[in-house]
Structure 1
Amino acid sequence: MSHAVIRCRPLSRRLRVGLAAGLLLAGASVQAQPALPGSFIRDLKGLEARLEQAPAEVSERASRQAERLAGGNAADRWARALYWQLAAGAAARRGEHAQAAAWLSSAAGSEVAPAAWREARLREAALQFRAAGKTAEAAARLGRWLEAASAPAVEERWRLIGWLAELERWEAAAARLDALAARPREAERRALALSIYRRAGRDGEVLSLLREGLDRDASPRAWRRAAALAQRLGEPALAAGLWEAGWRQGALSGAQDLRRLARLHLAGGTPARAAEHLARGLAAGVLAGDDRHRRLLATAWEAARDHDRALSAWEVVARQSGQADDWLRLGQLAHGWGEAALTGRALRRARALGAEEAAAWLASLPGGAGEGAAAPGDQSESSVQTGA
C-alpha cells in the first residue's frame, strides 16, 4: 500500500477551546481533599467567570498564582493544580495549545489532586498537544492516560493507534492493536490495522485480517475485494495468496479469474505458480490457446528461469504468431542461456521477418554462428518472408 495511514479526525472546536466552563469548579472536585480555603475558592470562581470575556487576563493571573503557590502545603498545591487548569483553559481559548498542554501536564502531575481529576487533565493535555501539532507528546500522554483509566472508551484506544501510525511507530501501534478486545469491523479501521501490521512485519496478522470472513461460503466478490485490498496495501504476494485460496475453494473460476491469478503470481514473485496454472488452464481448455495466453505462459516460465520450458514456450509463441519480436525474444533468451543452435535459428527468423535488431545480434555471435547454414527443418529466410 502505498502509505495507507488513516488520519484521525481533527479536534472539535469545543475540545480546542473548551476545557469547558463549569468543570473546573464542579463541587465534587473543589470539595475533594485537601480542603481549600475560601479565599482560593472565591478567586478561582472569579477568574473562571471572566474566562470567556478576558482569557488573556485570566491566563496571566492564574499562571502567576500557580507559580506563587509552588512549595506550599497540601492545600496550596491543590489550589496550584486548579490554577494551572484554569490558565490552560484560557490559553486554549486563545489558540495557545502548546502552552495549554504544558500547564495541563503540570496540573496532572500534582500528587495531592484526586486521581480521577489528574487522569482527566492528562487526557486534556494529550488533546491540546495534538491541537498544537505535537503528536509525539500527545501520544505519550494519551498512552499514560489509557494505562491509568479504569475503563477507557474504545474510541480513545483507536485515537492513540492512529497517532502512533502517523508517527510511524509501527511496533507500538501493533501492540495497541493486539490489546484491543475485538477485531475492527469498520472499513477504515480495518485498513488502518492492515497498514500497521504490514509495516510492523506482522504478515500473519495481515493475512488473518484479510481472510476473516472468507470461508467456503464467501462470495467471489468478497475474495476479489480482499485481494484488491492487499494490492492497495502494496502486498502483491499476499494478494496472490488470497486469490489462490479463493481459486482452490472454487469461489473464483473461469478464464478471467485464472488470468488474474497468473498475473498476481507474476507480480508477487511466484512466476512458477503462474506458469503452472496457465499450463493447466490451456490443457483443460479453460484458456484459449491464442497468442495472448501462450505469450503469458512463456513470460511466466521465463520469469521463473525454467530454461527448457521458457524456450519451448517462446518457440510455440513465435511459430504461432509469426511475429518478428517473438522470434527475436526467443533468440535473445537462447543466447543468454547458451543455446547456440536455437539462438542462430531464432535470430535468422527474426531478421527475415524484419527485426532490424536481429542483424546486429547475428553479427555478434562467435565464429559466424549467426550466418551458418540453417538447421535441419529450418525454413530459409525467403520462405519465411513469403510464407512458403
Structure 2
Amino acid sequence: MFRHSHRRHGTHRQGPLKVLMAMGVGLAMLLGGEQRATAAGPALSQQSIDRLQGLERELSNGHYQQVVESARAHASSAGSSQGDQWARALYLQLAASAAQRMDQPGRAADLLYQARAIDTAPLSQRLQWLEQEARLRVQARQFEQAADLFDRWQGQASLGPKDLWLGARIHARLEQWDEALRWVRLARASDSSPSDKQLALAASVYQQSGQLEDASSVVEAQLAQDDSDPARWQQAAALYQRIGKPGRAAALWEAGWQRGILKGEDALLNRAKLHMAGGTPARAAEMLSEALDNGDIKDSDAHRRLLARAWAQTRDHQQALRAWQTVAERTNEAHDWYMLGDLAYGWGAWGQAEQGFAKARARGGDDPGQLLLMEGVAVYEQGRLDQAQQVFRQAEQFDGSAEQAGQWLALIDSDRSRPDLSSQVSMR
C-alpha cells in the first residue's frame, strides 16, 4: 500500500494521504470515521514505506503489542531529515492505534502526544491527532489533560455540537464551572435540538455557575420534551424560588399537580406552601381545609398550624382567628396561644388577645413581662381598669417591662381622675 515510484517529471512525493488511508485499520477507524490528510508531508524513503507497510500488516493480523514495540523502536531510531521525522510521526500513530486496540487509551494518547509534537507533520494532521488525543484522554479518565486539549482544539477548529457538549461535560466533571458555562453556551448556540441528557448538563452548569434564570429556562425546556418526571417539576419550582419568583414556582407546581404528575401528601403540602409564598394564600387555605376534611392529609398539629398560617396570610380575620383558636386549644402549647394572642392583638380582637397572652404565660411562654404588658393592654381596651391595673403591676416586677408598665399604670390613674373618661371607660 505504501509505494515509492518515479515519474518522468520528478519523484512522486508520498504524502500522508495513502498512509493515513492505510491507517483505516488503526486509530482513525477505532475513533470513528476514515481520516484523510489534507496536506502532504515530506517524501518518505522506500525503507520507511516498507516498514510502515509491514507494521500495518501486523496491526491487521492483531499483533498489537508487537506493533507498539516495533513502531516505537523505529520512531526512536528515525533520522533527522524531514522525511524521517514524518515517518517517525506515522510510526507513533501506528503504535497509538495498536495501544488503543489493546484498550490502553492513556498509552495511546501519550503516543499521539509525541506524534503531534513533530512539527514536520502537516498542521492539519497534528490538529487531527490533538482531537484524537483529547478523546483518548477522556477514555483514560485523564480529565484535566482532556480539558486542556479540548480548549486548544476548540481554539483551532470549528467543533460540532457533539464535541462541544463533550467539552462542557469534561469541565463540569472537573467542577470548572466558568469554563463549563462557556462550552455549554457554545454547544447550545450550535445545537437546535439538544438531547435530554445535554439539557440536564446545561441546567446543572447554569445552576453551579449562578445563572439561575438560564437554568430555569432549560428545566422548562426539559419539561416541554418530557413532563412525566416529577423530579423535573420539583427542580423547576425550586429554581424559581431561588431566583425570587415564588409565583412562577407555585404556578409550575400547580400545573404538575393538575396533570397528575405531582401527587400525594408531600406534594399537596408543598403545593400549599408554594401558594403561600407565591402570593395566593387563599388558594392554599382552601386546599388544606379540603384535604383535612377529606382525610387526604393527616389531621396533625403541624398541618393545622399550616392551615392557620395560610388563613392569617389571607387577612381573613374570622377564619384566621378561628384556625389559631383551634390549634391552641388542641395543642395547649405556649407558642400557639401566643400566636393567637398576637394575631388578635394586631386586629383589635381584645378578648382573644387577652386569652392568648394569658394562656401563653400560664404555659411558660418566653418573656413573661412582655406577655403581661400585652395582656394588660387587651384588658384595658375592654374597659376593665381594675383588672388591667393588677396585670400591669405584675408586669412591673420584670426589668424588661417595668418602665412601660409604669406608664400604663399612670395612664389608668389619669383616666380615673377624669370623670368624663371614667364614665366612657365603664361603658365599654
d(CA) in 2 for partners of 1:178 and 1:31? 32
Partner of 1:187: 196
Alignment of 1:1-388 (within 5 A): 19=27, 32-51=40-59, 53-69=62-78, 72-150=80-158, 152-180=159-187, 181-212=190-221, 227-231=233-237, 236-237=241-242, 240-244=246-250, 260-264=270-274, 271=277, 273=278, 276-279=279-282, 288=289, 295-296=305-306, 298-299=308-309, 315-321=321-327, 323-325=329-331, 328-332=334-338, 345-346=355-356, 348-349=358-359, 359-361=363-365, 365-366=368-369, 369=372, 375=379
Partner of 1:5: none
Partner of 2:409: none
Partner of 2:421: none
For 2:173, give the aligned amino acid: E
Task: Tell me, yes or no, if the aligned pair for 1:298 and 1:310 is still in contact at 8 Å.
Answer: no
Indicate the SS of the match to 2:145.
helix
For 1:63, give the aligned amino acid: R
Distance 1:298 1:320, change over 3 A: closer
Q: How far did 1:122 drift?
A: 1.3
Distance 1:29 1:208, change over 3 A: closer
For 1:190, give the aligned amino acid: L
Task: Tell me, yes or no, if the aligned pair for 1:314 and 1:326 is still in contact at 8 Å.
Answer: no
Distance 1:91 1:295, change over 3 A: same
Distance 1:28 1:187, change over 3 A: closer
For 2:356, give the aligned amino acid: A
CA RMSD of aligned residues (A): 4.9
Indicate the SS of the match to 2:364.
helix
Distance 1:187 1:323, change over 3 A: farther
Task: Tell me, yes or no, if the aligned pair for 1:297 and 1:313 is still in contact at 8 Å.
Answer: no
Task: Tell me, yes or no, if the aligned pair for 1:227 and 1:243 is still in contact at 8 Å.
Answer: no
Task: Tell me, yes or no, if the aligned pair for 1:244 and 1:261 is still in contact at 8 Å.
Answer: yes
d(CA) in 2 for partners of 1:170 and 1:229? 19
Considering Cα pairs closer than 8 Å and 6+ residues apart, tell me whether 1 or 2 has the greater RCO: 1
For 2:324, give the aligned amino acid: A
d(CA) in 2 for partners of 1:29 and 1:185? 31
Structure 2's unaligned 5+ residue stretches are 1-24, 294-298, 385-428
Distance 1:157 1:295, change over 3 A: same
d(CA) in 2 for partners of 1:28 and 1:368? 87
d(CA) in 1 for partners of 2:201 and 2:35? 42
Task: Tell me, yes or no, if the aligned pair for 1:299 and 1:310 is still in contact at 8 Å.
Answer: no
Distance 1:237 1:223, change over 3 A: farther
Deviations 1:236-283 (A, max 9, x none): 43584534455999x979xx99975542366xxxx4x4xx4113665x
For 1:155, give the aligned amino acid: K
Determine which structure has the larger helix proportion and give its number: 2
Task: Tell me, yes or no, if the aligned pair for 1:130 and 1:138 is still in contact at 8 Å.
Answer: yes
Q: How far did 1:197 drift?
A: 1.0
d(CA) in 1 for partners of 2:66 and 2:182? 44
d(CA) in 1 for partners of 2:146 and 2:181? 18
Q: How far did 1:82 drift?
A: 0.7
d(CA) in 2 for partners of 1:377 and 1:110? 100
d(CA) in 2 for partners of 1:300 and 1:367? 26
Q: How far did 1:144 drift?
A: 2.6
The structure with the larger Rg is 2
d(CA) in 2 for partners of 1:32 and 1:367? 92
Task: Tell me, yes or no, if the aligned pair for 2:26 and 2:94 is still in contact at 8 Å.
Answer: no
For 1:108, give the aligned amino acid: R
Indicate the SS of the match to 1:360.
coil
Q: How far did 1:229 drift?
A: 3.5
For 2:305, give the aligned amino acid: R
Indicate the SS of the match to 1:361.
coil
d(CA) in 1 for partners of 2:333 and 2:210? 43
Q: How far did 1:196 drift?
A: 0.9
d(CA) in 1 for partners of 2:179 and 2:192? 17
Q: How far did 1:206 drift?
A: 1.7
Task: Tell me, yes or no, if the aligned pair for 1:331 and 1:347 is still in contact at 8 Å.
Answer: yes
Task: Tell me, yes or no, if the aligned pair for 1:55 and 1:93 is still in contact at 8 Å.
Answer: yes
d(CA) in 2 for partners of 1:113 and 1:332? 83
Indicate the SS of the match to 2:280.
helix
Task: Tell me, yes or no, if the aligned pair for 2:307 and 2:323 is still in contact at 8 Å.
Answer: no
Distance 1:172 1:27, change over 3 A: closer
d(CA) in 1 for partners of 2:177 and 2:275? 28
Quote the sequence identity (%).
28
Indicate the SS of the match to 2:202.
helix
Indicate the SS of the match to 1:179.
helix
Q: How far did 1:224 drift?
A: 8.0
Deviations 1:3-31 (A, max 9, x none): xxxxxxxxxxxxxx9525799xx996599
For 1:237, give the aligned amino acid: R
Task: Tell me, yes or no, if the aligned pair for 2:92 and 2:115 is still in contact at 8 Å.
Answer: yes
d(CA) in 2 for partners of 1:201 and 1:142? 24
Q: Give the TM-score normalised by structure 2.
A: 0.60
